[in-house]
Amino acid sequence: MEISLTSGEAGRILCRYEDDGVGVLPGFDFRNQDSLGLKLIYSLGEQQMMGTVRFANDRGVSCLVDFPKNLYQERV
């Protein structure tokens, strides 16, 4: 298992999780599951952090959350 947090292009941050387990069945739809954990990943990554979430099933499971570095702007 590996977890990394790196700077991406154009002021983005990349949070990546990868494991080398058995993975999931081909055609598994990560987005349309009843799992609270997957729902939280999508909700936090896309709605609260204004990013994108991508899962892959290649030699295990990997998840990439790509979000802007500057999430907060001065309001006053």
The contacts found for 37-45 with CB under 8 angstroms, 24 or more apart, are 41/65
- CATH code where residue 64 lies: 3.30.565.10
pLDDT at residue 73, rounded to an integer: 73
pLDDT at residue 67, rounded to an integer: 96
The total number of residues shown for the chain amounts to 76
Provide the number of structural domains found in the chain: 1
Phi, psi angle pair for 63, to nearest 5°? -135, 130
Q: What is the pTM of this model?
A: 0.87
- Encode the chain (76 residues) as per-residue pLDDT tens digits: 999 999 999 999 999 999 999 999 999 999 999 999 999 999 999 999 999 999 999 889 999 999 999 887 777 7
Domain housing 31: 2-68
As a whole number of Å, the CA-based R_g of the chain is: 14
Is 41 within the bounds of a domain? yes
